[in-house]
Amino acid sequence: MIETSRRNFVLGLSALAVFPLQRAEPDLILYNGNFWTVDAKNPKARAVAISGGRFLAVGSNEEVLRLAAGGSRKIDLGMKTVTPGFIDAHTHPAMSGRLHLRRVDCDLRSIAAIQGALRERAAKTPPGDWVLGFKYDDTKTSEGRALNVKDLDDAVPDHPVSINHRGGHMDFVNTMAYKVAGVDKNTPDPSGGIFERDSSGQFTGRIIERAQGTFEKVIPNIFTRDDYREGVKLISKMMTKTGITSVGDALGSPEDLQAYQDARDSGDLPMRVYCFIAWNYIDRMIAAGVRTGLGDEWVRVGGMKQIADGAVSGRTARLSQPYIGHPNDYGTFSATEEELYEYGRKAYAAGWQLGTHANGDVAIERVLGVYERLNREIPRRDPRFRIEHCTLINDSIIQRMRALSVIPLPFSTYVYYHGEKMQYYGEERLKHMFALRTFLDAGLRPTQASDYPPGEFPAMMALHSEVTRTDLHGHVWGANQRVTLEEAIRIGTINGAYASYEENLKGSIQPGKLADLVVLGRDPFKEDPSTLVSIPVERTMTGGKWVYES
Ligand SMILES: [Zn+2]
């Protein structure tokens, strides 16, 4: 506090040159560390001085310890490795926090185990109230088939049930849920969505894309404003524990934005948030005069988010060639080019950055078409168009992305964690998926992006997956897209900062930048890549404060 007011005082006198920040007293000095700074001019350091939540100095032990004053705390790091805090540039923190508060975690290894968990929850739920689950993954259950309406009816006959798939783009419901939602045999599929039916016309229980809305509408939103804040608090703890100090919320609502602010005000926000606003709320935001960048270093309004196609883990991404073993299945679009353009134009003209979810090559081409058109119609100096996921690419996509310097946000942990889904895409196609090597070689700036809940978020798992391209079972997918450890760390730090226009504020350990860092239990540069995922995060610091200590 003292530092801030002094700095303001100094700035008020326009005397910054006379009293540079470096003259301030450090609150804290970390020394005897193995710092990987991600600062090209000063890549390695032994010590940092921190004041008012920012790095004051970065250098050798002698240089930095010399700055110590009476009130400076000093911590000997015992030569532990330190990196900048990791930035998960596309994830769903507020939403997943609330899901953890309310829903059954269905990340279980058999349908029987899921039924058991649902039964248990139903026993504690008043009859007629919804029993809800999330993180169900049809490729990770031992039965080798998808959950169906009968499984759910058997487990929970007296409550409506809806289980969200890990990929988010489909739900699995029971018979009572269809009744509550008013969906019957004669209900047509909505545009952009499917109530899946079997060959005899019976509902299977699977609800795809925009058809999910029919059920979402009738599930009461029981979350209070306190619950919203609690959800943020819970997920922030989970994430900072794994080395994450900043996130991009990829599909926020005004209520989410409020939840992040509430958590910050109550001291429960240990990570920074760049909050994208979903297209369906954009009118409210524009009417209020809000645009990208409003906020501060803790909670900032991000871009506008739209969705062009389905999910990789749910195998609904819109591809030019069909899924392996499903010759007629090319995935699904979630919006027309005109819809993407209309919302995109409105937001872009009002000063918003745009981020559009596109996994399949055909969907990416559609989004690029919209971005190219907007760039012609409304030229802007530094648009930083984002393609969220940008999973399956080809040469022409890369050329078009280069021309506009589009930012790709590919899944960081999918190869490692979701290896069993890769067979649906096939070895050949994997050479062009999550294409970090290609993006870097083209001069683009890909980020780290978990997309949690669909993907896992631990920062070390992201490094592991990106460096090894090896899944949990030891299978290598698309080895040509491997990046070096140094590149993976840049992707997870400075590139994430760039994706939110904050590269001068964070993403590296440099004087003047926010003091966000991670202390690791082992040095990843001395590690066999096959064990990167097991490196423990010992401490996480955001804004000069330890927010996690093991
Ligand atoms: Zn997402």
Kindly state the average pLDDT of the residues 93-115: 96
Separation CA 148–CA 415 (nearest Å): 27
Which is nearest to 171 in space by CA: 143, 112, 130, 201? Answer: 130
- pLDDT above 60 for 8: no
> What's the CA-to-centroid distance between 317 and ligand 1, angstroms?
13
Concatenating the DSSP letter of every residue in 177-215 gives HHHHHT--TTPPPPTTEEEEE-TTS-EEEEEEETTHHHH
Kindly state the average pLDDT of the residues 105-131: 96
Separation CA 451–CA 518 (nearest Å): 21
> What's the CA-to-centroid distance between 73 and ligand 1, angstroms?
40
> What's the CA-to-centroid distance between 451 and ligand 1, angstroms?
5
Dihedral in degrees, nearest 10, Cα atoms 459, 460, 464, 466 = 20
> What's the CA-to-centroid distance between 230 and ligand 1, angstroms?
21
> What's the CA-to-centroid distance between 257 and ligand 1, angstroms?
16
DSSP-derived 3-state class of residue 277: strand
Separation CA 316–CA 171 (nearest Å): 13
pLDDT (tens digit, 9 = 90+) per residue, 167-216?
888 999 999 999 999 999 999 999 989 999 999 999 999 999 899 999 99
Kindly give the pairing relationship between strand 131-136 and strand 86-91: unpaired
pLDDT for residue 168: 82
In this prediction, residue 12 has a pLDDT band, given cuts at 50, 70 and 90, of: very low
pLDDT (tens digit, 9 = 90+) per residue, 418-432?
998 899 999 999 999
> What's the CA-to-centroid distance between 92 and ligand 1, angstroms?
6
pLDDT (tens digit, 9 = 90+) per residue, 62-97?
999 999 999 999 999 999 999 999 999 999 999 999
- pLDDT above 50 for 13: no
pLDDT for residue 186: 94
In this prediction, residue 6 has a pLDDT band, given cuts at 50, 70 and 90, of: very low
In sequence order, what are the residues at sequence separation of 6 or more whose Cβ sits closer than 8 angstroms to the Cβ of residue 50? 26, 27, 28, 29, 30, 56, 515, 544
> What's the CA-to-centroid distance between 385 and ligand 1, angstroms?
16
> What's the CA-to-centroid distance between 248 and ligand 1, angstroms?
10
pLDDT for residue 5: 39
> What's the CA-to-centroid distance between 388 and ligand 1, angstroms?
7
> What's the CA-to-centroid distance between 60 and ligand 1, angstroms?
41
> What's the CA-to-centroid distance between 330 and ligand 1, angstroms?
20
Percent of the chain at pLDDT > 70 equals 96
Separation CA 484–CA 461 (nearest Å): 14
The C-alpha angle with vertex 534 and arms to 79 and 473, in degrees rounded to 5, equals 155
In this prediction, residue 9 has a pLDDT band, given cuts at 50, 70 and 90, of: very low
> What's the CA-to-centroid distance between 453 and ligand 1, angstroms?
8
> How confident is the prediction for the chain on average, in pLDDT?
94
pLDDT for residue 535: 98
Which is nearest to 364 in space by CA: 435, 266, 314? Answer: 435
> What's the CA-to-centroid distance between 16 and ligand 1, angstroms?
42
Strand partners, 277: 252, 304
> What's the CA-to-centroid distance between 310 and ligand 1, angstroms?
11
Separation CA 334–CA 194 (nearest Å): 11
- pLDDT above 50 for 3: no
Percent of the chain at pLDDT > 90 equals 91
Strand partners, 204: none
Which is nearest to 540 in space by CA: 231, 246, 229? Answer: 246
Whether residue 469 contacts residue 479, with contact meaning beta carbons closer than 8 Å, is answered with yes
pLDDT (tens digit, 9 = 90+) per residue, 402-418?
999 999 999 999 999 99
In this prediction, residue 16 has a pLDDT band, given cuts at 50, 70 and 90, of: very low
pLDDT for residue 21: 54
> What's the CA-to-centroid distance between 250 and ligand 1, angstroms?
6
pLDDT for residue 93: 98
pLDDT for residue 166: 87
Kindly state the average pLDDT of the residues 396-406: 98
